[in-house]
Amino acid sequence: MRTNYFKYFFTIYIVTLVMDSFAQDRVVIHEHTPKSALICARSNTDTVEFTHNKQFKPAASRVSADQLSINFSKHFYQAFPDKKVSNNISFVFELTIEKDGSINGVSVLRSNFTSEENDKLKEIIYTITADTWIPASYKGEKITSQYTLPIILLADVNEI
């Protein structure tokens, strides 16, 4: 009877050791392993991986981010004269930049405003960024791309 217990515990011990040895084999992700990044990920168009692709050049605005925030704030206070903010507010927009540098679509990714106010915000973004875009290019050819645009609504534009 004792030998049966011994065989039983010995078998459990061996199985536990084997399972434990497999549990220690972890997948190691090396530091130099590239992480993929996509453009046009929200549409059904082709995507391009550009993590280590030197032939890809993202879309860019000819106007600096600070100046875009100033222009946005001025237009905001003209569109909403009764709305005053005490602290700077951050918004995030997504733009579709066409091959010719024009804007095809504007969507609001982050905002604390109502949908009607967001529609006005999209119009303001379209107005202040029209004709300022250099389109993305891949292998020297201009392509349509998505651009995420963070904007800060300044509490007091007159200080600048």
Is 56-159 CATH 3.30.1150? yes
| pLDDT above 50 (res 36) | no
**Per-residue pLDDT tens for 41-56?**
444 455 656 656 778 8
Q: What amino acid is encoded at 98 in this protein? A: E
Q: Residue range 75-93: average pLDDT?
A: 89
**Per-residue pLDDT tens for 117-128?**
999 999 999 999
Give the list of residues 6+ apart from residue 49 with CB closer than 8 angstroms, or none.
36, 37, 38
Return the bridge partners of 103, or none: 97
**In the chain, where the domains are located:** 56-159
| Res 11: pLDDT | 84
| Res 26: pLDDT | 53
Q: CA dist 105 to 2, 6, 121, 129, 160, Å?
A: 79, 73, 13, 12, 30
The pTM assigned to this predicted structure is 0.65
Given 3-state DSSP classes, what are the helix, strand and coil percentages for the chain, each rounded to the nearest 5? Answer: 35, 25, 40
40: left (phi over 0), alpha (psi -120 to 50) or beta: left
